[in-house]
Structure 1
Amino acid sequence: MRLNLMQIMQKFKKNKLNFVLFFLVILIGLLSFVYFRNSASYISYEDYKRLLNLNAIEKAYIKNDKIYLTYNKKDYIVLKEAINLNELFKKVKISKVDENTFLIEFLLIFVLFVAFLSFLIFKRNGLKNSTTQIHKNLTKNTYTFTPAISDIKFSDVAGIDEVKSELCEIVDFLKNPKSYNKLGIKLPKGVIMVGPPGVGKTLIAKAVAGEAGVPFFYESGANFSEMFVGLGAKKVKELFANAASCAPSIIFIDEIDAVGKSRGNGRNDEREVTLNQLLTQMDGFEENSGVIVMAATNKIELLDDALLRPGRFDRRVYVSLPNYKDRIEILKIYLKNKKTNLNLSKLSRLTVGFSGAGLATFVNEAMMNVLKRGGDTLELSDFEIVKGKILNGKKKELVLSEEEKQIQALYQASKALSAYWFGLCFEKIHLLEEEFISDDREILSKSNLESKLKVYLSGFCALKIYKNDIFSNSKFDIQKAQNLAEKMVFEYAMNGKFMPNSNDILEILDKNYQEISDFLDTMEDVLFEISKVIFTFEIITYDEIRKIITKFYEKDEDAKD
């Protein structure tokens, strides 16, 4: 008896998948029946006439002696004899459905589903053998890596003067390897470029290959990730073999963090085998073999320490976002052969924080705006129109009532006045603009950051003082103020303490809130004059604010005299 029970259990284990699939078919069948079942409800003639007069009927079809009406994605039924079909047809197209259509469709879906599951059941026994055979066939394959000859030069890549000086030695070695070998000079085996996305790391590697005139092997780190263990390692081995046969040459691995992450965290056998093969290959060729390995990443902290040790990637080159001068040089390249009426200095200041790729997109979007407005010359206004779209994506336009517009104008006026008074740089501020302060400085003082805090808090204060209420449009500025105060306390120790707490954040916020409240309380006339301009024209410039303040101060001086 016990033996029979064991045999039954073994058979159950072998056929467990069949049982599961069988019950799954029944379950899907029941669910399909419930889903497709007609759940339409009857409505009265008065309800029908109401829907008809409101033009609310979306679809109508005849089935047997009933009319099915679709309204708000639900079906309703009226008897065919109870209504005027001509009257209904004037409002909506009427179709006729065969009563057997539903049954045929359901049976067809069911048969196809059962056939598919049957196919899976019959094939599952051979899946393991098939997988093994696929693995054997793949491991027999030989990967061929075709090098490219780059035509890009350093002159084609702007804003990388510091990087060029770092890489000139590599270029010279690839051009004149004998001079270095004669003196016994060993160049680094690998160069890893680190920087944010879009700064041109791949373009720089192509420029190195183009300057040296050597074959360039490009491969993405993600291409080494395979389903079967060992295939990625085979790819790495054959890539290095191909490069060595074409020496002098450059291997460039983009996004190397996809294959070079630290081992041990989140175990992945295939990736670890591939990484071990990469480490072995970089150890295996001589320093002066003529093969230089270049790589790029924006997450160097994720890379395995063994990959970064001396003898592998010996040299690190940091590629940062372009600064003011770099952006001018990059823009010159992208604006070449285009008809423009631009001040590049102003345009560069408008693009603080843009990468090289971001600038390329910026110029292209601005040119599209030229086409939309029917012009032929690229203006600064074209860039101003598309800037928000490039940085944040296209936003839904707000529709404000007159009262809401007055509130928003006063809110923006307080920010503009505060920014001007406390010496923050900006060109203009729009009615619905969140970011308007342009600051390209790397080192910021406490007084400068407190000025920013006051600007963030100014709209909230002004509405509380002059409208005696609190409004939701201050949400994002309050968040910015909180984040900035937290940085000042915990990252910059600007509260004078090395062991701060949350009370220190509140102290800085309260102090600046009180100061900006006192300031705005004394500037009512100026504030409302600026608000009037923003309400009328939906924009005000820095110079217009200066003129308004000057005018009011001249009035005060005349009144005193």
Structure 2
Amino acid sequence: MNITWPNFNRNQLILTLSGGIILLLLLFALLRDSGNTVTLEEATKLIEANQIEKTFLDGGYTYFATKDKGVVKIASSQLPPELTAHLLIEPKSSYGWIWFFFFFALIGGAGFWAWKSRFGFDDEIPVETPVTVSKAVSEPEAPSSNVAAVKSNVRFSDIGGIGDVKEELEEIIDFLRNPKRYYSFGARMPRGVLLVGPPGVGKTMIAKAVAAEADVPFFYQSGASFVQIYVGMGAKRVSELFSAAKKNAPAIIFIDEIDAVGKKRGGERNDEREGTLNQLLTEMDGFEETSGIVVIAATNNIDVMDSALLRAGRFDRRIFVELPTAGEREAILQKYLRQIPHDLSIAEIAKMTVGFNGASLAALVNEAALLCMRQNEIQVKQEHFLAVKDKVMFGKKKIAMLSDEQRRYQVRYQAGKVFAATWFDLPYEKITLTNDAITPPTAEPQLRHEIEAHIRVHLAGIASSHLRFGEHASNASHDLGVAKELVHSMVYEYGMGSSVLPSAEDEAKIIDRLYNEMSMLLERNEKILGKFEAILNEYEHISKALAKATMNEIL
């Protein structure tokens, strides 16, 4: 067996060497012969003067313990017998040395035991002990995993706008509370529940709420934490996670972003990810239906997940968590505004936040509250929400410095988009020279005319610029890209081309038709476009309310 000797620093080495030297000096002082040799004449004088207290023999010498000179010695062969006849001569005792060695053996054993405990040596040390030479750059050690359950304090009452999801999960909660009721009836609960939805809709909070409502331990892991650079560590973490859950059953295992480890196995080989995925599949097959363990996982994209995870007996129940509707947004806002003094219509705030998820609504409320405090107001009002809405959606952007010519092009470009968004009554609060907060279509099912209205808005800036200048600027790339994506989805995903079967020709025909229709509509309403240009040029922004009022005055 191999051991690696500990690395001493300089102070430890000095202390060790000093202790050894002191021990050797003590041994030398105690073991050396300390008696001084005397002559026969000197010995005779000591005996005749009654200076001898004790006499003993050792190794051919006679030792005298005297009152004044300490211990002296003389060769026994030099002493006449009549000189020491009246003295009691004893052999030298060796018990003192035995106690001395016992004492030092005890100290040495205690020191070795402490050294061993400090550095963790094994019990057996081989004759030949290899010494490990440290490298300039040490190899990384695989991290240890410590799986521990957490107690969730999130309840369904803390989450707004999840009525449909709550109904689906109440059955899971009842099963975790009363498993015998289901077993006696011969029913089984799904081993895995997959929460599917875009980021920020509250999938993690929902899983925590299930654990809190059922009052069971909650084991949280991110799918990314299973994907390790160390071979076998991902599979080990999966095994440890399920082992810990089994010991604390009934329990909930929640795996966030499971698509990080559960992606489809294809041509690009990744042995570590595949090994981890195989271990996850094995663990889900391994625990009994009566174990009291429910695995909840979350993903933003179910399409990339391996089919083996989605089959019956694993994640056989799927719950889709969509972006909140207007009513659900109102319920979420009410939760976040409970502790914040406000004077506003929550329903109005909910209507103007189309496309916001739960996380965005939380950020919106917080930003509005911070703005209210900066302005030394005592209540949050609707104008605070209007002021920070674009910041939450798009981030704080630096206004671009435009030349006079660039500004003319930008004003015309945005005026065309204002006209299209107002004409087709798309949801937006305001449009500025540098930004337009027009929410992309999110409702399901999406009707063809609704998708085409959004495409026309993204083409309106280009069409408007060509009507005035005969060309458009490079900033149209984003709008053109969005328009192409929407047309591609219409043809290849929704079957909205000239036939149900998709074709590239259909994409070109649709985008050309919508562009031409938008150009003719803008040309017929040049007067309205001019009004929008004037407003944008003066104020650099225009609200939907003002745009509608301006349009109604001219029509």
TM-score of Structure 1 vs Structure 2, range by shorter chain: 0.5 to 0.7
The aligned counterpart of 1:80 is: none
The aligned counterpart of 1:329 is: 331
Question: 1:412-466 CA distances to partner (integer Å, 9 max, x unpaired)?
Answer: 3333233333444444433333333676543444444444344333333333333
Cα distance change on mapping 1:434 and 1:188 into 2, 3 Å: same
What is the aligned counterpart of 2:312 among 301, 310, 334? 310
Cα distance change on mapping 1:217 and 1:486 into 2, 3 Å: closer
Residue 184 of structure 1 and its aligned partner are, at CA, apart by 2.8
Cα distance change on mapping 1:476 and 1:197 into 2, 3 Å: closer
Paired with 2:433 and 2:156, the residues of 1 have a C-alpha distance of: 44
| 8 Å Cα contact 2:194/2:315 also seen in 1 | yes
Residue 473 of structure 1 and its aligned partner are, at CA, apart by 4.7
Question: 1:46-76 CA distances to partner (integer Å, 9 max, x unpaired)?
Answer: xxxxxxxxxxxxxxxxxxxxxxxxxxxxxxx
Letter of the 2:299 partner, please give it.
T
What is the aligned counterpart of 1:164 among 154, 163, 166? 166
Residue 410 of structure 1 and its aligned partner are, at CA, apart by 3.4
The aligned counterpart of 1:184 is: 186
The aligned counterpart of 1:26 is: none
Cα distance change on mapping 1:215 and 1:444 into 2, 3 Å: closer
The aligned counterpart of 2:218 is: 216
What is the aligned counterpart of 1:415 among 417, 425, 431? 417
The aligned counterpart of 1:534 is: 536
The aligned counterpart of 2:148 is: 146
Local SS of the residue matching 2:499: coil
Local SS of the residue matching 1:250: strand
Local SS of the residue matching 2:412: helix
| 8 Å Cα contact 2:412/2:465 also seen in 1 | yes
What is the aligned counterpart of 2:367 among 365, 368, 379? 365
Local SS of the residue matching 1:310: coil
The aligned counterpart of 1:349 is: 351
Letter of the 1:528 partner, please give it.
G
The aligned counterpart of 1:292 is: 294
Comparing 143-152 with 159-168, greater Cα deviation is found at 143-152
The aligned counterpart of 1:376 is: 378
Letter of the 1:182 partner, please give it.
S
Residue 294 of structure 1 and its aligned partner are, at CA, apart by 2.0
Cα distance change on mapping 1:261 and 1:508 into 2, 3 Å: closer
Residue 213 of structure 1 and its aligned partner are, at CA, apart by 0.9
Paired with 1:144 and 1:524, the residues of 2 have a C-alpha distance of: 68
Comparing 233-242 with 337-346, greater Cα deviation is found at 233-242
Local SS of the residue matching 1:396: coil
The aligned counterpart of 1:457 is: 459
Residue 227 of structure 1 and its aligned partner are, at CA, apart by 4.7
Residue 536 of structure 1 and its aligned partner are, at CA, apart by 2.1
Comparing 184-193 with 204-213, greater Cα deviation is found at 184-193
Cα distance change on mapping 1:346 and 1:431 into 2, 3 Å: farther
Paired with 1:481 and 1:494, the residues of 2 have a C-alpha distance of: 15
| 8 Å Cα contact 2:429/2:437 also seen in 1 | no
Local SS of the residue matching 2:295: strand
| 8 Å Cα contact 1:180/1:186 also seen in 2 | yes
Residue 126 of structure 1 and its aligned partner are, at CA, apart by 12
Paired with 2:136 and 2:549, the residues of 1 have a C-alpha distance of: 85
Paired with 1:527 and 1:521, the residues of 2 have a C-alpha distance of: 9
Q: Highest CA radius of gyration, 1 or 2?
A: 2
| 8 Å Cα contact 2:390/2:437 also seen in 1 | no
Local SS of the residue matching 1:378: coil
Residue 171 of structure 1 and its aligned partner are, at CA, apart by 0.8
| 8 Å Cα contact 1:426/1:438 also seen in 2 | no
Matches within 5 A, 1:74-113: none
Paired with 1:264 and 1:507, the residues of 2 have a C-alpha distance of: 35
The aligned counterpart of 2:96 is: none
Paired with 1:408 and 1:245, the residues of 2 have a C-alpha distance of: 64
The aligned counterpart of 2:12 is: none
Residue 202 of structure 1 and its aligned partner are, at CA, apart by 1.6
Comparing 384-393 with 207-216, greater Cα deviation is found at 384-393
Paired with 2:222 and 2:453, the residues of 1 have a C-alpha distance of: 45
The aligned counterpart of 2:389 is: 387
| 8 Å Cα contact 2:488/2:507 also seen in 1 | yes
Residue 298 of structure 1 and its aligned partner are, at CA, apart by 2.3
Residue 253 of structure 1 and its aligned partner are, at CA, apart by 2.2
Cα distance change on mapping 1:499 and 1:365 into 2, 3 Å: same
Cα distance change on mapping 1:497 and 1:122 into 2, 3 Å: same
Letter of the 2:350 partner, please give it.
S
Matches within 5 A, 1:108-119: none
Letter of the 2:262 partner, please give it.
G
**Which is helix-richer, 1 or 2?**
1
Matches within 5 A, 1:144-293: 144-263=146-265, 265-293=267-295
Paired with 1:125 and 1:415, the residues of 2 have a C-alpha distance of: 62
Letter of the 1:393 partner, please give it.
G
Letter of the 1:329 partner, please give it.
A
Question: 1:466-523 CA distances to partner (integer Å, 9 max, x unpaired)?
Answer: 3455444544334444444444444444442345544444433443333333333333
Comparing 186-195 with 262-271, greater Cα deviation is found at 262-271
Residue 212 of structure 1 and its aligned partner are, at CA, apart by 0.9
Comparing 448-457 with 192-201, greater Cα deviation is found at 448-457
Paired with 1:312 and 1:398, the residues of 2 have a C-alpha distance of: 52
Paired with 1:265 and 1:332, the residues of 2 have a C-alpha distance of: 49
Residue 210 of structure 1 and its aligned partner are, at CA, apart by 0.5
Letter of the 1:342 partner, please give it.
L
Question: 1:54-109 CA distances to partner (integer Å, 9 max, x unpaired)?
Answer: xxxxxxxxxxxxxxxxxxxxxxxxxxxxxxxxxxxxxxxxxxxxxxxxxxxxxxxx
Cα distance change on mapping 1:489 and 1:262 into 2, 3 Å: closer
| 8 Å Cα contact 1:349/1:438 also seen in 2 | no
The aligned counterpart of 2:21 is: none
Paired with 1:469 and 1:392, the residues of 2 have a C-alpha distance of: 28
Comparing 410-419 with 199-208, greater Cα deviation is found at 410-419
Residue 211 of structure 1 and its aligned partner are, at CA, apart by 0.5
Paired with 1:145 and 1:473, the residues of 2 have a C-alpha distance of: 50
Residue 335 of structure 1 and its aligned partner are, at CA, apart by 1.5
User: CA RMSD for the aligned pairs?
Assistant: 3.3
Residue 303 of structure 1 and its aligned partner are, at CA, apart by 3.4
Residue 168 of structure 1 and its aligned partner are, at CA, apart by 1.0
Paired with 1:319 and 1:351, the residues of 2 have a C-alpha distance of: 18
Cα distance change on mapping 1:244 and 1:353 into 2, 3 Å: same
Cα distance change on mapping 1:144 and 1:539 into 2, 3 Å: closer
| 8 Å Cα contact 2:201/2:359 also seen in 1 | yes
| 8 Å Cα contact 2:441/2:451 also seen in 1 | no
Gaps of 5+ in 2: 1-131
Comparing 297-306 with 205-214, greater Cα deviation is found at 297-306
The aligned counterpart of 2:517 is: 515
| 8 Å Cα contact 2:355/2:439 also seen in 1 | no
Letter of the 1:409 partner, please give it.
V
Comparing 523-532 with 439-448, greater Cα deviation is found at 439-448
Paired with 1:482 and 1:301, the residues of 2 have a C-alpha distance of: 22
| 8 Å Cα contact 1:425/1:438 also seen in 2 | no
| 8 Å Cα contact 2:324/2:358 also seen in 1 | yes
Calculate percent identity across the aligned residue pairs: 44
